[in-house]
A and B are shown apart, each in its own frame.
Chain A
């Protein structure tokens, strides 16, 4: 398809291909279109590189056949439909006006349309469907063509040998064009039985099927792949591969929110419903609405687990909404009021889980954290939380660290929490830090294992512990007032000594390797612990670090 201006506007015999709109503003374009169609039927190999030129305006008025002579000369490939403007046509076709409007705007020409609306209104025999517009260029669907050889898209993945063979073939084929084989002469006679218009029509139908309101969700993989490809090409271009290699992209029609329709019509005072069939709901005659059935009572433990899992799913959906909002919104660090509310709500949901007792609250949170998806949820939620909420989560995690470590034995995915939590460790005040660590030290009833021992054996645990100690040391060094003897200070030194002792006690093999090793740990231990122990510690920790 070519644009109207250009070399193809020569006059030809008036081989009318179909009736034209009599409206004033479209007369000239329709005339040119006629010529264009003649040209098309004569020579199919039009220059594809002419820029497309679409008219913006859509004329939705009814069109009338002016000339009966033209009527009789309609070719069999062109069939008009009784058309009526706007809503009526769309209703009959079963499409929303929005998508129909889109169709009219971009893909219109004289083409055989598969569906025939059944309304009997027309008096004039043959009309044309939709307004006259410029025949669109199929290359509208994609970005400008590339000079890439072979003629496959970037999605065709060929074995490198295969690719080389094809390239050789292509290069060797081009000079050999004068040597025609008998079959080629034959096929030339039958070639292009399927005209350009028909091809475009098939493509139009296929594109209609690809309409979507949110292409980044519906077509997630292709969109992301294409973004990566573009980035790679931009980088290549920057690096010096000066050839502007542009890959083609499929641009699917983007529609606004699909209009809701009434598929069931109720008349006043009638006892039933009249079903208006559309292509989306061919025969929706009754309101079949599923009512929630009460769940049967199952065993307590399994139901509890199921409840936690379904709770996590619901929270995850909210989290996805928040993330979507952040992605679509302006790139700023302060969130809108609505987003903040959403985050708050999610946090409350995370913490409370419909339980009023404070202990059970923590328990609910722990249950969420025992599930792999729950950990992922918390890890992804943490960046959105304001400081105090995040700190409370962090403290809860520290408090129950041994339990978490034990429960994570199967999954081993606590690590994903380290980075987001680590960020908030630096926000802790000294007092909060102490609180957390003291909570950690408490020996849980009925367990003989010391919590620190358990923690040290797990990678996440030991990393968190080191990070906390390092932060504490930093705080102490920054604030000389903390050095003064006070209950806080003694508590701190006690904790440090205890942890140092624990580390020294552990056989090197069972000491887990931390994700990060803060540099101010050893000096910290040096200050509070005697030399012998320090040397022992050094040996232990260095060895563990090397491993």
Chain B
């Protein structure tokens, strides 16, 4: 804010730990090292965090360069508060397994719903089959 008062700028966030939510749903946590005018981000010591219910797992990813348009939001992580969370950290294999199970149940529920609607003569187009714009 010292640089450009009255605006929102990422300059002040450099070298701080951030949580970045991407448009494809991934959550990245890393140190913001560099930005540019398009809000492309360079994340250092990045970790991809997968959340399933009350559990989460971290996959270390190294250095990420994220194109600005794919970022939904990002926020600074308070390093002191980072550890006190009610969530439970598990291993990568476990969380990936949990994620797979979750996806599966979601798909099954979706299928049942679509079938029920079809029986009643209604059809709701699926979000992923629609064009984005």
Contacts and interface: CB of A to CB of B under 8 A. Distances in A.
B1 A152 contact: yes
A139 interface: yes
A139 B15 CA distance: 21
B11 interface: yes
Nearest to A139: B2
B14 A145 contact: no
A153 B31 contact: no
B86 to A, nearest CB: 20
A249 interface: yes
Interface stretch (A98-106, A183-191, A488-496): A183-191
A153 B15 contact: no
Contacts of B44: 190, 193
A153 B5 contact: yes
A247 B6 CA distance: 10
A194 B5 contact: no
Contacts of B11: 199, 202-203
A168 to B, nearest CB: 13
B33 A141 contact: no
Contact of B4 (A151, A181, A198, A203): A203
Contacts of A186: 45
A261 interface: no
Contact of A222 (B6, B35, B37): B6
Interface residues of B, number: 22
A145 B2 contact: yes
Contact of B14 (A139, A141, A183, A199): A199
A181 B6 contact: no
A191 B15 CA distance: 6
Nearest to B8: A155
Interface in B10-27: 11, 14-15, 17
Contacts of A199: 3, 11, 14
B20 to A, nearest CB: 17
B7 interface: yes
B79 interface: yes
Interface string A432-452: 000000000000000000000
A385 interface: no
Nearest to B82: A183
Contact of B5 (A48, A187, A202, A248): A248
B109 interface: no
Given A139-B2, A190-B44, A199-B14, A250 B37 contact: no
Contact of A142 (B5, B15, B17): B5
Contacts of A249: 5-6
Interface string A146-181: 000001111110000000000000000000000001
A206 interface: yes
Contact of A141 (B3, B42, B45): B3
A194 B4 contact: no
A192 interface: yes
Given A139-B2, A187-B15, A248-B6, A194 B37 contact: no
A169 to B, nearest CB: 9
A216 interface: no
B89 interface: no
A138 interface: yes
Contacts of A187: 15, 31
Given A151-B1, A181-B79, A206 B15 contact: no
Contacts of A226: 6
Interface string A103-145: 0000000000000000000000000000000000011011001
B36 interface: yes
B99 interface: no
A205 interface: yes
A194 B10 CA distance: 12
B33 A194 contact: yes
A454 interface: no
A81 interface: no
Contacts of B37: 202, 205-206, 209
A250 B5 contact: yes
A207 interface: yes
Given A248-B1, A248-B2, A250-B5, 13 more contacts: A48-B2, A139-B2, A141-B4, A152-B1, A183-B79, A190-B15, A191-B15, A194-B33, A194-B34, A199-B11, A205-B37, A249-B5, A250-B7
Interface of B: 1-7, 9, 11, 14-15, 17, 31, 33-37, 42, 44-45, 79
12 contacts: A183-B17, A187-B15, A193-B34, A193-B42, A193-B44, A202-B11, A206-B7, A206-B9, A226-B6, A248-B1, A249-B6, A250-B7
